[in-house]
Amino acid sequence: MATRTMTRPTADIRPFHVEFPESDLEDLRRRIAATRWPEKQNVADQSQGVPLETSQALARYWEKEYDWRRVEARINELPNHITTIDGLDIHFVHVRSKHEDAMPLIVTHGWPGSIIEQMKIIGPLTDPTAHGGNASDAFHLVIPSLPGYGFSGKPTEPGWGPEHVATAWIELMRRLGYSRFVAQGGDWGALITDLIGLQAPPELAGILTNMPGAVPPDLDLLMQSGISGASDPLAKLPDGLSAEERKACEELAFFWQHSAYALMMATRPETLTGFADSPVALASYLIDHDAASLELICRAFAGETVGLSRDDVLDNVTLYWLTNTGVSSARLYSENKLSFFAAKGVTVPAAVSVFPCELYEAPRSWAERAYPNLIHYNKLDRGGHFAAFEQPMLLTEELRTAFRSLR
């Protein structure tokens, strides 16, 4: 078994406590009540975005029944900290397992996510014996808030793109004293985890991604060519693709044709000022990330819980509102110059978990080429883009299984 030493952490780590004034919550409810609504949509599905009935059901529950203090108390039960890296305050949750030989793991959320996404996996990962696992499955867990998100600082000048975040996360793990660690992420977290793998610091033992950067670069560019809808990239697919690879291309083409939210944030984030003024505008934008996730959320506010509850959704949205991070989080898109999905040349030990309702299902053939040191590949039978949020135990088991060979 590999040994993991922990050196003395740096002193530049401060405790952090969350407590928003009641006046902020009263103002939130007042603004929700004052929402001016549009007319009902003229389609009977979600093809044009968040249906009016979903937004109105969300607003009713948010104003009349939702309890922020419940999740605020849950956050404060965790060890929250702030440290300053490259002049920016970085917030993170750091939960050490009672099992001293646990493997250090840094987990990164994405947009429109936050540390709220990962709260369901903290117990199973750090205390596996209480959640159906063995002591040998334990992790010491670090969950940072991305710059401009949650309780982290908001960059005041350009330069905090995903490459910089990856470098900062490596520094964070060193600052915490970890001489060996693994990394995992989805959405922005997947890209940042790939970049940690690409930087390959000596402390890094391996990575797990549930939104892999595995697409051959030529196919990645081809699928993006359909963004405007002026051409059909699927008509230009090369010969020789397997059925699984062709299906992945179809999923990617669909995503890019419905990626206006990302293009808006990448090109005009400062135009989204309404996010700081209208809670319903913010919520509607945040829940319209992808078709499968929106369907889950619509079902939740129609009274059916499948993967996500109303409180799950509003815990995350309310964090964005109270921290006023709707615009600052969007700026990460304008900072990014990399492809989410294209292979990047990661050679460290890597694991790929494929959830069926992810933006695309990465074929094993692509994963093996993108990650030549592939230590684990698995296609799950349920779950989507927000794996930790929707299917925490499935993701937990993926992490346990994937990293056993690295302990």
In the prediction, which pLDDT does 36 show? 96
Decide if 385 is catalytic. Answer: yes
Give the other-Cβ count within 10 Å of 387's Cβ.
26
Of 81, 99, 376, 385, which is the active-site residue? 385
Q: Tell me the C-alpha distance between 18 and 21, whole Å.
A: 10
In the prediction, which pLDDT does 8 show? 47
| Two tokens, residue 62 | 């948010």
Give the other-Cβ count within 10 Å of 19's Cβ.
9
In the prediction, which pLDDT does 11 show? 59
In order of 287, 298, 325, the CA distances from 44 in angstroms are 18, 13, 32
CA 332, 260, 388, 406 torsion: positive or negative? negative
In order of 39, 48, 55, 279, 305, the CA distances from 36 in angstroms are 10, 19, 12, 12, 28
Low-confidence ranges of the chain (pLDDT < 50): 1-8
Tens digits of residue pLDDT in 302-358: 998 788 999 999 999 999 999 999 999 999 999 999 999 999 999 999 999 999 999
| Two tokens, residue 338 | 């990399």
Q: Tell me the C-alpha distance between 324 and 320, whole Å.
A: 6
Q: Tell me the C-alpha distance between 270 and 32, whole Å.
A: 23
- Say if strands 181-185 and 103-108 run parallel, antiparallel, or are unpaired: parallel
Question: What SS3 string covers 198-254?
Answer: HHCCCCEEEEEECCCCCECHHHHHHHHCCCCCCCCHHHHCCCCCCHHHHHHHHHHHH
In the prediction, which pLDDT does 10 show? 57
Of 99, 127, 149, 187, which is the active-site residue? 187
Domains and CATH numbers, the chain: 14-215+258-406 (3.40.50.1820), 218-257 (no CATH)
In order of 16, 29, 81, 86, 167, the CA distances from 151 in angstroms are 9, 22, 10, 16, 19
Q: Is 183 left (phi over 0), alpha (psi -120 to 50) or beta?
A: beta
Of 178, 320, 333, 377, which is the active-site residue? 333
Q: Tell me the C-alpha distance between 154 and 93, whole Å.
A: 18
- Whether the CB-CB separation of 249 and 219 falls below 8 Å is answered with yes
Instruction: Provide the CB-side half-sphere exposure for 161 (13 A, CA).
Output: 13
Decide if 187 is catalytic. Answer: yes
Distance of CA 139 to the CA centre of its chain: 19
